[in-house]
């Protein structure tokens, strides 16, 4: 069985993640074809098609491909698995880029698809470079083409991290659902406090400025992305429940200093041997660009305050 990936079809290749992988694969000499309802922003071989009802041209592209990647929302990807799987040649590689891996993992298993299959979840925005950044890799059916793809990620200087499907979803619930929930609830609480944001910005110490920056990023983002993070992963509800319980525990702890100290200890133990690494990271963030940004904001506020009326 050849390990070479010469031709690749990316279903959903006009989107951010699909477009990112299209560019990377083309840079490695792979011929990339796009199937999407929208044309890609970069000129590539393209067929407009609803993948759940593929056109004859789309079917032909899939049948010839060494690798087919689904870079689609979960509900569409789950519908497309059976359709695409029926067209792929047995020695090809099936790849999907879902942020939740367990449902499609179970779907592929239930269909008994005979080819190699891998899930990839880049843990960064597709507008950023892959260099030095992690890509979660979930190998379901291994083989030479899958190994070749992982090697390509390494060649692109990405950082593949091998995980099981359930393990991936548990970690993503903590990394994304919990993180976004904490930031959004911070924003909702801030709205409830009804403070003057201009004055807040002029006084904000680094931890608060960081939270404001994160809130600005998430609240200004694409709602569908953040909705999917909270609604699709079956472990996200547990993460939100843990956050709500933690806020309640913190509220109770202020009645007893020893209880509060125990909460600090418990939260610190989360890091294990990694705590020094994150302490150093915090120092570098607060003394680096964030410190400069804070100073610039304060200078801007000062100059506005001193403008002649």
In sequence order, the β-bridge partners of residue 34 are: 10, 46
pLDDT greater at residue 67 or residue 294: 67
pLDDT in tens, 199-222: 998 888 989 999 999 999 999 988
Identify whether residues 240 and 153 lie together within a single domain.
no
Residue 305 has pLDDT above 60, yes or no: no
Asked, for residue 1, whether it belongs to a domain, the answer is no
Asked, for residue 181, whether it belongs to a domain, the answer is yes
pLDDT score at 290: 60
Residue 262 has pLDDT above 90, yes or no: yes
Residue 180 has pLDDT above 70, yes or no: yes
Query: Where a domain ends, among 140, 163, 186?
Result: 163
- Helix (H) or strand (E) holding 280, with range, is helix 275-287
pLDDT score at 297: 58
Identify whether residues 22 and 159 lie together within a single domain.
yes
Residue 45 has pLDDT above 60, yes or no: yes
pLDDT score at 307: 53
pLDDT score at 178: 97
pLDDT in tens, 118-146: 999 999 989 999 999 999 999 999 999 99
Query: Where a domain ends, among 117, 145, 163?
Result: 163
pLDDT score at 162: 97
Which string of DSSP letters, residue by residue, matches 120-187?
EEESS-TTS--TT-EEEEEEEE--HHHHHHHHHHHHTT-EEEE--HHHHHHHHIIIIIIHHHHHHHHH
Identify whether residues 32 and 157 lie together within a single domain.
yes
Domain residue limits at 244:
168-305
Identify whether residues 21 and 47 lie together within a single domain.
yes
Residue 260 has pLDDT above 90, yes or no: yes
CA-closest candidate to residue 16, choices 109, 105, 102, 130: 130
Identify whether residues 140 and 251 lie together within a single domain.
no
pLDDT score at 309: 43
Identify whether residues 142 and 255 lie together within a single domain.
no
**What's the CA angle centered on 162, arms 159 and 167, to 5 degrees?**
125
Task: Name the band, by pLDDT with cuts 50, 70 and 90, for residue 292.
Answer: low
- Region 158-184 average pLDDT: 96
**What's the CA angle centered on 240, arms 235 and 241, to 5 degrees?**
95
- Region 63-87 average pLDDT: 95
Q: What is the CATH number of the domain that holds 92?
A: 3.40.50.720
Query: Where a domain ends, among 163, 181, 208?
Result: 163
The Cα–Cα gap between 301 and 202 comes to: 7
CA-closest candidate to residue 149, choices 104, 115, 101, 113: 115
Identify whether residues 101 and 225 lie together within a single domain.
no
Identify whether residues 159 and 175 lie together within a single domain.
no
Asked, for residue 271, whether it belongs to a domain, the answer is yes
Identify whether residues 176 and 138 lie together within a single domain.
no
What is the domain count for the chain?
2
- Region 166-175 average pLDDT: 96
Identify whether residues 90 and 153 lie together within a single domain.
yes
pLDDT score at 302: 54
Identify whether residues 232 and 271 lie together within a single domain.
yes
Asked, for residue 2, whether it belongs to a domain, the answer is no
| Highest mean pLDDT pick, 72-76, 225-229, 302-306 | 72-76
Identify whether residues 49 and 141 lie together within a single domain.
yes
- The DSSP output letter for 296 is H
């Amino acid at each position: 069985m050849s390990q070479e990936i010469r031709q690749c079809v990316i279903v959903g290749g006009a989107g951010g993640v699909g477009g990112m992988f299209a560019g990377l694969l083309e840079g490695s000499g792979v011929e990339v074809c796009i199937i999407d309802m929208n044309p890609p922003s970069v000129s590539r071989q393209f067929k407009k098609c609803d993948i759940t009802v593929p056109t004859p041209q789309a079917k032909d592209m899939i049948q010839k491909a060494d690798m087919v990647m689904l870079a689609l929302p979960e509900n569409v990807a789950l519908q497309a698995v059976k359709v695409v799987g029926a067209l792929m040649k047995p020695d090809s590689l099936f790849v999907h880029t879902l942020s939740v891996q367990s449902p499609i993992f179970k779907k592929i298993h239930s269909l008994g698809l005979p080819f190699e299959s891998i899930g990839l979840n880049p843990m960064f925005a597709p507008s950023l470079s892959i260099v030095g950044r992690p890509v979660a890799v979930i190998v379901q059916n291994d083989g030479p083409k899958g190994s070749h793809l992982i090697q390509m990620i390494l060649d692109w200087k990405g950082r593949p991290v091998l995980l099981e499907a359930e393990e991936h979803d548990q970690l993503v619930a903590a990394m994304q659902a919990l993180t976004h929930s904490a930031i959004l609830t911070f924003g909702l609480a801030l709205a409830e406090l009804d403070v003057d944001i201009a004055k807040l910005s002029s006084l904000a110490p680094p931890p608060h400025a960081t939270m404001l920056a994160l809130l600005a990023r998430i609240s200004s983002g694409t709602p569908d992305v953040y909705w999917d993070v909270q609604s699709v992963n079956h472990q996200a509800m547990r993460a939100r429940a843990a956050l709500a319980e933690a806020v309640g525990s913190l509220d109770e702890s202020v009645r007893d200093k020893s209880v509060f100290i125990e909460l600090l200890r418990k939260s610190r133990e989360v890091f294990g041997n990694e705590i020094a690494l994150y302490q150093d990271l915090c120092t570098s963030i607060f003394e680096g660009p964030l410190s400069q940004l804070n100073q610039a904001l304060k200078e801007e506020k000062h100059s506005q305050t001193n403008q002649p009326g």
